[in-house]
Amino acid sequence: MEVIMGEKHDDIKKLFDKNDRSVIIDDFRKQEALMHVRTNLEKKSALTIGSNWQILKYQIYYMDKTILIIHLTVCLGILFLGSCQVWGQISMIVSGVLGALSLLEVENMFFSKMTELGESCYFNVRQLTAFQMAYSGLISLVTLLLTTVSASLKYQLDIMKIGLYILVPFVFTECICMTIMIMGIGRRNLLPIVAVGIFSALFWGVLASIPGLYEASALVFWGVALIAGTGILIIQVMRFFRALDKGEIVCAD
How confident is residue 156, by pLDDT bands cut at 50, 70 and 90? confident
- Provide mean pLDDT across the span 211-221: 75
How confident is residue 97, by pLDDT bands cut at 50, 70 and 90? confident
Lowest mean pLDDT among 105-119, 148-162, 163-177: 105-119
pLDDT of residue 198: 87
pLDDT of residue 54: 75
Using alpha carbons, list the distances in angstroms from residue 61 to 3, 54, 111: 52, 10, 19
> The dihedral of CA 168, 136, 252, 238: what is its sign?
negative
Q: What percentage of the chain carries pLDDT values higher than 90?
A: 5
Checking if the pLDDT of 190 tops 60, the result is yes
38 three-class SS: helix
- Provide mean pLDDT across the span 18-26: 74
pLDDT of residue 250: 52
- Provide mean pLDDT across the span 96-120: 68
Checking if the pLDDT of 228 tops 90, the result is yes
> The dihedral of CA 21, 24, 28, 34: what is its sign?
negative
pLDDT of residue 158: 80
Average pLDDT, the chain: 77
Lowest mean pLDDT among 95-104, 152-161, 166-175: 152-161
pTM: 0.68
pLDDT digits (tens, 9 = 90+) for 43-85: 766 556 666 677 667 767 766 677 788 888 888 888 887 777 7
Rounded CA-CA distance 5/204 in Å is 56
Lowest mean pLDDT among 171-175, 188-192, 199-203: 188-192
- The kind and range of the H/E element at 44 are none
Rounded CA-CA distance 253/29 in Å is 47
